[in-house]
Structure formats: structure tokens, C-alpha cells
Amino acid sequence: MNVITRKESYQTVSRRQESDVPEQVDLPRAQVSIVRASQYDLDEILAAVRKGTELIGGLEKVIKAGDRVFVKINHLPPASPPERGIVTHPIFAEAVIELLKEAGADITVGDDIESEPQDGFGVSGFRQMCQRAGVRLVNLREGGFVATESYGRLIDSVYLSRIALEADVIVNLPRLKTHSLTVFTGGIKNMYGVIPASLRREYHGTFIHPEDFSLMLTDVFAATKPQLTIMDGIVGMEGEGPANGNLRQTNVILASRDAVALDTVASSIIGLNPVDIDAIRYCDEQGLGVGYLEAIEVTGESLESVTIDDFRLPATLTRLLMTRMSGPLPSRILRFVTGQTTVQPRIVKKRCTVCGECVKICPTGAATIADETTRINQATCIGCLCCHEVCRYNAIALRRPLIGTTIFRLTSIVRKLIRR
């Protein structure tokens, strides 16, 4: 059964106006802790996570002895070792698990991962870590998915992991990374993994505009809000994340009972304006969390002390900003600007191994293999960038016209000047 129900597009969804933002004296307060950590050492991370959770009120505010706790990791397919910086680091997860065990939690760790010839959890190190920690590790498809009402703005119902739905507490462990489609990925987007892979592919093909896709992410998040989010920000990913960017030492661990507030702070650390991240803004509008810094109490390290001024951001940000700044322009000029600043995936033949991961994930069939060569049909490509996300060989580059490249460089300079 196809449970997706299209309601209204991004263009017809009302946005919060500046006049709708409450006075600062009336703002709801959310807490986000920032603690420094420099390496994937279990003792160092355990101490940092303990301090971070204490700064937001302690685990006892969230977890009681005997609670069924589902730990949602970020295990982006296909499988990759932890040093690639694509998945939540297993040692980071192990430190969190040690604290949950101290609280008396009944722990299950997992994500929805594709079936592969090799053991994906073994490749990432999660199989070994969970055996060492003595906790259950599951592929969410083992527990099945349940059709659930979402009451969202784009989808009415969605299949959600039974394991996640039956948990008393969801602990969300995202990694600090950029994203070539949504600009930023963190606590909100990590919960997208509680729906089956087949539905994730369908949604990529249905919600082809980044704004619509982010609104759909908000609907999924609304149905599976985590009670605690702890971000692995020791080593982040900049550039064209979430899988093919460059690793960057960021040296932070963030914790909050509000995943939206955590994403707001995390995106600010890497030089983004949170209001430019659609998923953050939509979640704030729907009351799913706090999406503006003025309403967030940052504890531990100050935001200013950990901000990275030269963090490399994805090319998609240029298209997003140019489109918003072009509101009053005639539609013909707006279409030209959008076209020039939109990136397209291209095969880098010398790197391509013809593994077929891009073909498997492409929602429109634009990626194909013929005569032992991978091709992307630009006429049927919708720009979802799923192929770029799953390629583990950096064999899919994101290209744009010369004018778009010039605009990207100019806007990057302007953003740096503004931040100074």
C-alpha cells in the first residue's frame, strides 16, 4: 500500500513572518550544551557526554530504570568504515551507551540499512561495538514498519519503524555534516532513517524541490520526535556532504532534549544562518522545537568560542540564497538564476568502479549502466543527489554552469565579509 498523500506544495505553505516571532521576553527556552572533545577515545568522550547531559539537566530527566531506549545512529548506506566520517562513530555511540546502561536502560541500537553481501554493521564497527557493550543491534527492517498517521503538511501517513515506535525513549545520535541537497544534516534529518529505504527513495522522487523535501522531513520528524539528541561533532564533514565532503576537525559534542534547537546551534557553529535551513525553520513553525538562537540557552562552551569561520559549505546553499533574494524578479529571470545555480551530478569515469549503487538508489532511473559504463541521463535526472550521497568512490561530481560557479564564488566572499 502506498501511504503517501500529497497535500500542499512548498509554494502554498505559509511561512512565519518576522512579525510572528514573539518578543524575546516571551520566548520558550531550550537548552543546548557544547562540550569539547578532540578524538575518538572512549574515556574522553564518556567524560564529555556525561558533562554535556548534566549541563542540560541530567539523564534522569529523560530516562528511568527499565525504560526501553532506542538509540538511532546515522548509518548512511552503503556501509563504510568509521574513519570515512560518514556514520556516527561507534566509539562515540559506545560512550553514550555506557551512560544509558548506568541509568538502567534496556538498550537497542539500530538504523535501517540495505541488505548487502557484506555485513554493513561489521564494516562500520557497530557489530563489534555492540557485542563489546552487550546491547542489541538491529536492522530496523527486522522489526518491520507500521503505517502511522503523521498529520503533516505534505504527508498524512507514513511507515515508521515498529522498534522506534515501541520505545519509551529515542536517543538520537546524528553526526555534524553538510548535505548537498538540504545544506545541513543533523538531528532532524537523522530521524528520516526510521522509514524504510524503499519509501525514502519514493519520497526523493516525489518531493524533488529541496523546500518540499525538507517539509516532508519535518512531517517524518513530527511523528518520531526523539527525547534526547547527542551530536557527534568531534570530526565533521564540510563541502559536499553527507558522504563525499571533506573531513574537518570540529572538536565538539552537542546535547539537547530539543533536536531542533541542537541543529540550530550546530548549523551556527559551521557558519550557517539557521533560518536558511528549511527543516529547522519548518520545525520551529510547527512547534516541534526551537529554531532561533535568541530562544536557546547555550551551556558549557560559548557558541562564539567554537564557531568555525571558514567551514566549507555545499554549493546548494548558493541556489537557495539566490532564489530567496530574487523574490521580486520576473519569473523568466528567476528561472535563469535558479538554473545557473543548480548543481547536476556528473560521472567521473576514472574513479567509477561501476558498483551500481547509484543505479540502485536513483528514483527516476536516470542512472544506468551500459557497456560497463555508468551514465546519468540529465533529461530525467531530478537533482535529488541520491547518487552523489551513496557513491563511496567520489566518482560523482557536482557541476554547474560557469555563471553559477561565478555566483557561488561571489556569494562565498560576501558571506565571509558579512561574518567579519
Q: What is the pLDDT of residues 132-186, one digit of tens each?
A: 999 999 999 999 999 998 888 999 999 999 999 999 999 999 999 999 999 999 9
pLDDT at residue 198, rounded to an integer: 93
Tell me how far apart the alpha carbons of residues 57 and 59 are, in angstroms, rounded to a whole number: 7
Average pLDDT, the chain: 88
How does DSSP assign 295-318, residue by residue?
A: GEEEEES-HHHH--TTPPPPTHHH
pLDDT at 290: 97
Among 249, 182, 187, smallest CA distance to 214 is for 182
Alpha helices per DSSP H over 236-353: 259-269, 278-285, 303-306, 316-325, 331-341
> Could you tell me where in the chain the CATH 3.40.50.11440 domains are found?
26-306
pLDDT at 327: 55
> Per-residue confidence at 317, pLDDT binned at 50, 70, 90?
confident
Residue 4 pLDDT: 38
**pLDDT score, position 209:** 87
227's CB contacts (< 8 A; 6+ apart) are: 62, 169, 170, 171, 257
| Confidence tier at 253 by pLDDT (50, 70, 90) | very high
Q: Write the DSSP string, 364-413.
A: SS-EEEETTEEEE-TTT-----HHHHH-SSS-EEEE--HHHHHHHHHHHH
**Burial classification of residue 319, based on how many CB atoms lie within 10 Å of its CB (0-12 exposed, 13-18 middle, 19 or more buried):** buried
Average pLDDT over residues 318-334: 57
289 or 10, higher pLDDT:
289
CATH of 316-419 among 3.30.70.20, 3.30.43.10, 3.40.50.1820, 3.30.830.10: 3.30.70.20
* Segment 85-109, tens digit of pLDDT: 999 999 999 999 999 999 999 999 9
Give the Cα separation of 103 and 43 in Å (integer): 18
pLDDT at 336 over 50: yes
Dihedral sign from CA coordinates of 141, 68, 255, 236: negative
Q: What is the pLDDT of residues 359-403, one digit of tens each?
A: 999 999 999 999 999 999 999 999 899 999 999 999 999 886 666
Write down the CATH number for the domain with range 26-306.
Answer: 3.40.50.11440
Residues contacting residue 388 through CB under 8 Å, at least 6 positions apart: 180, 240, 243, 244, 345, 396, 398
The kind and range of the H/E element at 78 are none
Q: What is the pLDDT of residue 406?
A: 64
Q: Which of 10-14, 210-214, 260-264 has the highest mean pLDDT?
A: 260-264
Determine contact, residues 230/49, Cβ cutoff 8 Å.
yes
Q: Does the pLDDT at position 10 exceed 80?
A: no
Q: For residue 306, give the C-alpha cell.
A: 567554537
In this structure, the number of other CB atoms found within 10 A of the CB of residue 56 comes to 24
Cα angle: 310, vertex 313, 316; to 5 degrees: 155
Could you give the percent of the chain with pLDDT greater than 90? Answer: 76
Q: Which three cell numbers stand for residue 132?
A: 563489546
Q: Measured between alpha carbons, how far is 256 from 296 in angstroms, rounded to an integer?
A: 10
